[in-house]
Amino acid sequence: MPADEASRDDAKRVIFFDTTLRDGEQSPRIHLNLREKVEIAHQLARLGVDVIEAGFPISSPGDLEGVQAVAREVEGPTIAALARANEKDIAVAWEGVRDATKPRIHTFIATSDIHMTHKLRMDRATVLAAATDAVRQACGLCPDVEFSCEDATRSDPAFVAEVIGSAIAQGAQTINIPDTVGYTMPTEFQRFLGDLYERCPSLEGVTLSVHCHNDLGLAVANSLAGIQVGARQVEVCVNGIGERAGNASLEEMAMILRTRAEDLGGLWSGIETTEITRASRMVSRLTGYDIQPNKAVVGRNAFAHEAGIHQHGMLANPLTYEIMDAQSVGLVQSELVLGKHSGRHALLQALVDMGYELDKAELNEVFTRFKALADRKGEISAMDLDALMGDEMRAVHENSLDLREIAFSGASGDEATARVVVQGADGAEHRGEGAGDGPVAALMGAIDAAVGSSGTLLEYAVSAVTAGPDALGEARVVCEINGRQFTGQGVSPDVLEASAIAYLRAVTASRNAADERMADSGV
């Protein structure tokens, strides 16, 4: 049961530091564009996270712009940017967050012998000096500074204590202890943290944070162990995404704190758990990372009771098999919000209620698509609208190639044949026909013939946005075009149409990338 709000003790509040947009975005093949980052950040704010780590600004100009956009547009949480412990990184991180109402610089350096020797090629004295200088510089720029010892759990605790003692003396208010390679175990981690408290008394005066990776499936267990011995910040990602096997999952930590509050000595968080499902789906859709069906809290089976004996128990009393209820995580299956007679005003109201902000031009664009969808599908649910909005964000508007017609003529033998009409950015229509050993291959051939592209399909996935036979389908492709990989996504009630849209977006992205390269080389 949730802790009684009136009896909540501030000293027991667990700060949620969300790093979906930084550690999560570092996962292979996740490339969020600026609008997608801002959209996720708005949802994280609705979810009630305390800190959003919006990126690692030195890593690319795009990352810096993403952090700046989040810092300028998203109100509520503290906005943090990551920086290695050097002058340039810290200066650029500050450029990223300086416009936020509550900015934070998060600087880090590795403290394990293996990292110092083989990665940094620095000895202990040099690492200590770099950490000290970095925190001093960051504190001179930003009122809120966090310092992390990368690979802390494989480091000599005496050295970690010395480094964090120095960071605290320079003004760091949060000290983060990462289990960077996901190696530690709960009781071992507790001993490690206890040891740090003993060796570094000034740690009592700042917020201790834990950042656990999931290589052995222990990220959440280790984070929980951390907050039970004094840590008051957990670093988490939606759906547990992140480097390699990921980070501690936000939704699992939040639901443990809510469900087991009484047994956790009053620890609590400010997470609005009813926003969890929407956050999870948004992150899954925009990153292209599916959620495993049996994933705790957000998997599609998490609240499904399949076996007859379980169903019988549930009917007699839900508590027989249910420790949390679907409403508490905001799971409202395909709730109907609009119909095909709904007008522009009703659509705008529904989108505003769902937390979207649109200008007039965007509303017009979405309304046209909504109408087309409602004519084909009839009832439009909140999840359909989320998919439509996500699709709008993914759309490549520059030089876009739009699908106008698609048709499949009779398959002969094992071969399928497709015809398409594609409209280019200049309004001209291009027709093409293609054949292949399946409808998707035929479609790609037809598009290539129409627009003169040549792509090889590397990955292809389709999924249903909602349940039921009239579900909206989402297609995702990864293609090699001119020696480089491009991704595309498309949403439509017809999965082949969604596939064609996805491929056209990948082709458009490849053309825009080629244009940018030519511009960069001054051609």
For the bound state, the minimum distance from the C-beta of residue 265 to Zn ion, rounded and expressed in Å, comes to 27
Q: Which residue number, 180 or 453, has a Cβ lying nearer to ligand KIV? A: 180
Q: What's the full length of the chain, in residues?
A: 523
Please state, in angstroms and rounded to a whole number, the distance separating the CA atoms of residues 276 and 330.
Answer: 6
Q: Which residue number, 180 or 284, has a Cβ lying nearer to Zn ion? A: 180
Q: Where are any strands of DSSP class E within 307-361?
A: 336-338
Q: Widest CA span of the chain, in angstroms?
A: 78
Count CA atoms within 13 Å of residue 461 on its CB side. Answer: 13
Residue 384 binding Zn ion, by CB under 5 A = no
Binding region for ligand KIV (CB under 6 A) = 23, 108, 148, 150, 176, 178, 180, 211, 213
* Site size toward Zn ion, by CB under 5 A: 1
Between residue 317 and residue 356, which ones bind Zn ion under the rule CB under 5 A? none
Which of Zn ion, ligand KIV, none is residue 150 near (CB under 5 to 8 Å by kind)? Answer: ligand KIV
For residue 285, which amino acid is it?
R
Residue showing the smallest CB distance to Zn ion in the complex: 23
For the bound state, the minimum distance from the C-beta of residue 212 to ligand KIV, rounded and expressed in Å, comes to 9
For the bound state, the minimum distance from the C-beta of residue 395 to ligand KIV, rounded and expressed in Å, comes to 32
For the bound state, the minimum distance from the C-beta of residue 75 to ligand KIV, rounded and expressed in Å, comes to 25
Closest Cα to residue 468, out of 360, 342, 377?
Answer: 377
Residue 23 binding Zn ion, by CB under 5 A = yes
Q: Specify the residue for token string 């490690």.
A: 192
For the bound state, the minimum distance from the C-beta of residue 50 to ligand KIV, rounded and expressed in Å, comes to 16
Q: How far is CA 382 from CA 47, 302, 315, 385, in A?
A: 17, 20, 28, 5
Which strand (E) or helix (H) includes residue 167? helix 157-170
Q: Which residue number, 236 or 401, has a Cβ lying nearer to Zn ion? A: 236
Strands 51-55 and 15-18 come out as parallel
The residue range among 20-28, 69-77, 413-421, 446-454 that interacts with Zn ion, by the rule CB under 5 A, is 20-28
For the bound state, the minimum distance from the C-beta of residue 152 to Zn ion, rounded and expressed in Å, comes to 11
For the bound state, the minimum distance from the C-beta of residue 244 to Zn ion, rounded and expressed in Å, comes to 9
Please state, in angstroms and rounded to a whole number, the distance separating the CA atoms of residues 492 and 471.
Answer: 9
Which of Zn ion, ligand KIV, none is residue 162 near (CB under 5 to 8 Å by kind)? Answer: none
Residue 144 binding Zn ion, by CB under 5 A = no
Alpha-carbon torsion (125, 128, 131, 133), positive or negative: negative
Q: Which residue number, 176 or 417, has a Cβ lying nearer to ligand KIV? A: 176
Q: Which residue number, 147 or 486, has a Cβ lying nearer to ligand KIV? A: 147
Please state, in angstroms and rounded to a whole number, the distance separating the CA atoms of residues 306 and 351.
Answer: 34
Which of ligand KIV, Zn ion, none is residue 148 near (CB under 5 to 8 Å by kind)? Answer: ligand KIV
Q: Which residue number, 211 or 419, has a Cβ lying nearer to ligand KIV? A: 211
Q: Which residue number, 111 or 137, has a Cβ lying nearer to ligand KIV? A: 111
Q: Tell me if residue 250 falls in helix, strand or coil.
A: helix
Q: What is the DSSP letter of 23?
A: I
Please state, in angstroms and rounded to a whole number, the distance separating the CA atoms of residues 147 and 56.
Answer: 14
CA 415 to chain centre: 39
Q: Which residue number, 108 or 503, has a Cβ lying nearer to ligand KIV? A: 108
Q: Which residue number, 146 or 275, has a Cβ lying nearer to ligand KIV? A: 146
Alpha-carbon torsion (272, 274, 279, 280), positive or negative: positive
For the bound state, the minimum distance from the C-beta of residue 84 to ligand KIV, rounded and expressed in Å, comes to 9
Please state, in angstroms and rounded to a whole number, the distance separating the CA atoms of residues 465 and 493.
Answer: 10
For the bound state, the minimum distance from the C-beta of residue 295 to Zn ion, rounded and expressed in Å, comes to 20
Binding site for Zn ion (CB under 5 A): 23
